[in-house]
Amino acid sequence: LHINLPTKLHLATKRFRNFQSVLSWELKNHSIVPTHYTLWYTIMSKREDMKVVKDCINVTRSFCDLTDVWVNTTDMYIPQVVGFRENAKLVICMGSFFLVPDKPLDPPEFEIVGFTNHISVNVKFQFDSPGILSEELQFYLAFIEEHAGNSVKRHQPQITGNITKNFNYVIDKLIPNTNYCISVYFEPKDPRKINRSPLKCTLFRPRRESESSESATIGGIITLFLITAVFISTVMILKRIGYICLRNDFPKVLNFYKLSVWVFAELPPLEKVATVEVIHVNRKKKVWNYNYDDENDIENEAAPHLISGGYTKHGLTGKLCPTSTTSPSLEDCSLEDCSEPSAEEPYLPEPKGDAETPMAPGPGPWQSEGTSGGYQTRGTLWQDPTSEEDSDSTEGSEGRIVFNVNLNSVCVRALEDDKDSEVTLMSPSCPEETVELEDLNETESSVLVASEEGTQLPFTNPSTECPRPQDAPSDKSDTSESDVDMGDGYIVRQVNLKKFN
């Protein structure tokens, strides 16, 4: 027998530490009261039979805790309460409950302003649709919590259903010189999880203070710091990669200011040379016919010889003027074998007496006083540094002069103002006045070149007046080589000179 009595089912959610769902029922007619109740339930999402709640079988209480039973918050539950009196069913009651998890409402924005005797809390609503807000706010309660030290006080401003604007709440009765922290939040009327806002604090003092400017100041300082940091880091990066502030302090090794190489358009020759003008003189070779009457002719003539390689060998005589005029041992000789003396001068730096000649990078010059062999040289001579020892060794010993001149293109001449200054290569007193072929051959490949030994090419001192070959006493030279054609012409030959002092 089922007696349907008016009943009322009520699902209440109580605020405890954890959210709980408690289903309770109430009979409207109290004339017939069941002695015990049993609770069943089912869901709408699936076709399932009623399930009994184990903790709610033949209970005398009129409520049942379903927290651990109704766990699916998105489903609709259909409970059924059956009231019994002894074994007879007196009442059957069913209902439907949709457990929608009421999401917490985000706290609103607010500002606090401290005054002399109160704190003003200005709550701002920043929702796009105020109408929806008013509908939703009816399900919520707004609370303002006041934290002062260890005490917490909660204020509940009255919110009507038509709120569309911000509202202001005043907190008074404050303790002077006390730090007050304010928090605003919405609490659902149907208790759920509350989402509290972070606390905002102010130190309450008898004078008016504003925290809004403080946060703006801090924000501005942080912004300025960030900007400065970004700017400095950018500048440092640009400097490091070389876009700005290029280095100008180059290493000294790269400093070309002090090098004399910039002065000249081309490097000076590595080897020391002396300018010699060769005056080409066509000489006819004469063969000595054992006639002593033709000495002068032989002295003054030097037949050019064609040499392989395009050079024309001519007889050259060079004169080494001794430092002392007391022992002029060499006859004067002159180099006159020159076709175009003005145009074909070899590019040799003009000696400047004792002046230094420009230095070219490379082996250091060997500056000689030109006293080797007792002869004074003019200017400085370049010498291969590898042959310094040889030159030192030759100093004081036999000198060696090698001339290698293309007589078709150069002029070899002692460049002196004094026309009489001549370069004497060897003693004119060599009995062999004619130029022997074999001697010429020896000198064939050594036309006015510095020998490997670095033979010094001495020149006469411009102040020294070299005796002419015809004037000088015929102090025979100790040359071991063939004689030289003296006179107006020059003889190209290899000459080994010895001391005459």
Partner 1 sequence: MASENLPQGSTRRRLSQPSSSLIFPMAFVLSLLMALVLVSYSSGRSLGCDLSQNHVLVGRKNLRLLGQMKRLSPRFCLQDRKDFAFPQEMVEGSQLQEPQDISVLHEMLQQTFNLFHTERSSAAWDTTLLEQLLTGLHQQLDDLDTCLGLVMGEKDFSLGRMGPTLAVKRYFQGIHVYLKEKEYSDCAWEIVRVEIMRSFSSSTSLQERLKIMDGDLNSA
Nearest approach, Cβ of 325 to partner 1 (angstroms)? 34
Q: Using the 8-state DSSP alphabet, how is residue 393 labeled?
A: H
The nearer residue to partner 1, 32 or 216, going by C-beta atoms, is 216
The nearer residue to partner 1, 260 or 463, going by C-beta atoms, is 260
The nearer residue to partner 1, 12 or 227, going by C-beta atoms, is 227
Nearest approach, Cβ of 350 to partner 1 (angstroms)? 19
Cα gap 343→315, rounded to integer Å: 21
The nearer residue to partner 1, 11 or 148, going by C-beta atoms, is 11
Q: What are phi and psi of 3, to 5 degrees?
A: -115, 115
Structure tokens at 300: 């003054």
Nearest in space to 474 (alpha carbons), one of 313, 365, 296, 330: 330
Nearest approach, Cβ of 226 to partner 1 (angstroms)? 5
The nearer residue to partner 1, 128 or 172, going by C-beta atoms, is 128
Nearest approach, Cβ of 135 to partner 1 (angstroms)? 6
* Residues 61/63/67/71 CA torsion (nearest 10 deg): 120
Secondary structure of 228-290 as H, E, C letters: HHHHHHHHHHHHHHCCCCCCCCCCHHHCCCCCHHHCCCCCCCCCCCCCCEECCCCCCCCCCCC
The nearer residue to partner 1, 16 or 257, going by C-beta atoms, is 257
The nearer residue to partner 1, 47 or 207, going by C-beta atoms, is 47
Cα gap 171→119, rounded to integer Å: 5
Pairing of strands 109-114, 88-94: unpaired
The nearer residue to partner 1, 137 or 425, going by C-beta atoms, is 137
Nearest approach, Cβ of 136 to partner 1 (angstroms)? 5
Cα gap 160→367, rounded to integer Å: 114
8 Å CB contact between 375 and 321: yes
Nearest approach, Cβ of 480 to partner 1 (angstroms)? 38
Structure tokens at 152: 């917490």
Cα gap 437→471, rounded to integer Å: 27
The nearer residue to partner 1, 29 or 260, going by C-beta atoms, is 260
β-bridge partners, 170: 120
Q: How many CB atoms lie within 10 A of CB 448?
A: 25
Nearest approach, Cβ of 150 to partner 1 (angstroms)? 29
H/E segment holding residue 481 = none
Nearest approach, Cβ of 262 to partner 1 (angstroms)? 5
8 Å CB contact between 70 and 22: no
First to last CA, the chain: 166
Contact residues toward partner 1 (CB under 8 A) are 42, 44-47, 73-76, 78, 94-96, 98, 100-101, 103, 106, 126-129, 132-133, 135-136, 219, 222-223, 226-227, 230-231, 234, 238, 242-244, 246, 256-260, 262-263, 356, 359, 364
Nearest approach, Cβ of 20 to partner 1 (angstroms)? 20
